[in-house]
Structure 1
């Protein structure tokens, strides 16, 4: 651990800046984890695209399809490959709290910088504030590593800003990935100030959030490595322009990516987001690979449509 538990908030404020991406996990033809492929992708993301940190073993990484040992190995490989060149935040999310703690302790041991824990499913529970506060307190009491909250619709509800602000008082809560409507994350940002880092995964809102909310962190999804190549780093470019206060220039660069965003949006089947992302990676020369059940693979027709859209999107390879 590079910091003490009580230093988690300050350490995150100092080190979590810029673009952090959520990694898709490559699985080979036999659906085994492709460790060499993951390492190759990480080298490209960090060295060529200058992505500042990676979110591992999350929803993009199909964590729900992986065994406990696979999840631990996923963390270990990523932490080793990132080394001191990029930060890491490991998803230790699970409905079983003992599994969450076990994964958290592994993250601490393998050299991860932070962990992230999504809000649990709470069947039949409608008064959630005390439940959620005590859930995160339980984890904070047992882990020393910095913990990010994560609220998204897949839990069946969204954490209210007031609940998030209360949880933010816990000593090693240092961030939140807040996948909610904009008015909710604006309100939370105003409530917590500099206490924790607030972010959302919507890339098309990132520039506005730098300018209007003073955000320093994009946490996290796949656009940082799907919208960019070694020769075309427009997301990185508009981010740096925005950090420099050159917002008009930043908007021009951001908006120039609209054809790429539309190429992805228009060809992504509603039931196959992960397979589509991995195929787009392959078109970019990255390692994509297969998806695990229950996710579905693209058909040849869907691949052809995606490839045609990719070719006309204007991305420079």
Structure 2
């Protein structure tokens, strides 16, 4: 675990590689229970079989808004237990966003004591009073904990921090060492780097990596909270091989590989299924049912209740067909 005082130096060294955002497999009537065996299998698959070096727990893909406090704590504990058994050095990242600062504090303290390496706090989803309100939220947590903190700047919160607001949080909260910039605003991430050059940035618009931003030191060598386990298999580690080329500075080779392997086309074919609900196409969402259906296509266990808990809708047949077709075209499943 990285303490608050160690956070920034630790982040520059430890946040490397693919960090998998884990889904929550549900079971029971209306998905009211969690299939713990399926969850353990998922963790072992990501860390032990795919050999990805980081886990990202209880965030958007996990549908954290539908989980109880006890469920969120237990999901993190199991990820740490299984992940460290498969790889003692796996970096475990806990997301502790909540509708109240007190609940976020409880989850953050739990993550600290359970052995997580870093906690990420998504821009609060309640009526945050802009950057000032988010700063107060972070300060409340930081004053009462001793663990590395990261920002998760996502449009699914309903409010996206400006570069100036994020830089102020970084300046005033020493425990803050990293950010996942999820709003797909490369220009904003570039400005944020200028304002806070030592902040470890993950830009979700991955085209910036092909533009040499890693080599320039604008972004870090990590994928913070993605679904890399849905883009490859142990037999065909396409996603890992692509990113290894990027991280080693072989950008032309990486782009050629992404095109020839089908990775680029797969991203086009499947992306909207994960982040867009047709009934509200203007809103960025983490559609848990879509991620889990994709996992099931690859043969991963998703629990007996394959849908999301409320308030998310069930995945329609058209989306399932789109996901099936994307995997067939990609070649990860049979024609």
TM-score (norm 1): 0.90
1:176 aligns to what?
Answer: 179
Residue 307 of structure 1 corresponds to which residue in structure 2? Answer: 324
2:291 counterpart residue number: 277
C-alpha separation in 2, matches of 1:228 and 1:124 = 38
SS at match of 1:45: helix
Root mean square deviation, CA, Å:
2.2
The question of 1:105 aligning with 2:106 is answered no
Residues 24 and 63, structure 2, Cα contact 8 Å, conserved in 1: yes
- Post-superposition shift, 1:207? 4.2
Separation (CA, whole Å) in 2 of partners of 1:304 and 1:5 = 46
Contact 1:260 1:315 (8 Å CA) reproduced = no
Q: Determine the structure 2 residue equivalent to 1:57.
A: 58
CA-CA distance at 1:247 after TM superposition: 1.4
Provide the rounded CA distance (Å) in 1 between the counterparts of 2:27 and 2:208: 34
Which is worse superposed, 102-111 or 285-294?
285-294
Question: How far does residue 206 in structure 1 lie from its aligned partner after superposition?
Answer: 4.5
Structure 1: gaps spanning 5 or more residues:
none
Residue 315 (structure 2) aligns with: 298
Structure 1 partner of 2:301: 287
Distance 1:85 1:42, change over 3 A: farther
Kindly indicate whether the alpha-carbon contact (under 8 Å) linking 2:4 and 2:149 is maintained by their aligned counterparts in 1.
no
Counterpart Cα distance in 2 of 1:286 and 1:263: 20
- Residue-by-residue CA offset, 1:130-159 (whole Å, 9 max, x unaligned): 332222112111110111011111222211
| CA distance, structure 1, for counterparts of residue 275 and residue 59 of structure 2 | 21
- Partners of 2:66 and 2:26 in 1: CA distance: 11
Candidates 260, 264, 284, aligned match of 1:258? 264
Instruction: Show the counterpart of 1:19.
Output: 18
Match of 1:219 in 2: 224
Structure 1's 312 and 3: CA in aligned 2 closer, same or farther, altered over 3 A? closer
SS of the aligned residue for 2:71 comes to: helix
The verdict on how the C-alpha distance between 1:242 and 1:308 changes in structure 2, with shifts beyond 3 A counting, is closer
Kept in 1: contact 2:270–2:322 (CA 8 A): no
